[in-house]
Amino acid sequence: MGQYRIVVSGRVQGVGFRYFTLSKALEFDIKGWVRNREDGTVEASASGTESQLSDFIASLRRGTRFSLVENLEITPEEDRGEYAGFRIK
């Protein structure tokens, strides 16, 4: 199991990116959360197996047809087993 903090930059607010992230988290059985940040980026904390996280991150990189993902900042976090599901903050 692993856990990452992911900050997505580009045109990712006002285009349904958080709901897209939620749907991908459910698809790949990722636990954690996602939220908009004041600087226009979207931040997520994601926990799962390395395979699940790899697929999840790849889907975030592609984004939706309405978004334009310019960069993903991915930082490992300590997995404390604190997430029961995935939610939008």
- What are 13-27's pLDDT values in tens digits? 999 999 999 999 999
Q: What's the number of domains the chain is made of?
A: 1
HSE, side-chain direction, 13 A CA sphere, residue 40: 8
Assigned domain for 85 exists? no
Residue 42: predicted pLDDT:
98
Residue 86 inside a domain? The answer is no
Residue 27 main-chain phi, psi, to 5 deg: -60, -40
Considering just the CA atoms, what is the radius of gyration of the chain in Å?
A: 12
The pTM of the full predicted model, rounded to 2 decimals, is 0.94
Which residues belong to the active site?
A: 18, 36
pLDDT, tens digit, 9 for 90 and up, residues 49-79 = 999 999 999 999 999 999 999 999 999 999 8
CATH number, position 11? 3.30.70.100
Q: Which two tokens stand for residue 8?
A: 């997505």
First and final C-alpha spacing in the chain: 23
How many helices, marked H, and strands, marked E, lie in the chain? 2, 5
- pLDDT attached to residue 82: 86
What pLDDT score does 62 carry?
96
Give the pLDDT confidence of 20-46 residue by residue, as tens digits: 999 999 999 999 999 999 999 999 999
Domain range enclosing 6 = 2-80
Q: Judge whether residue 81 has pLDDT over 90.
A: no
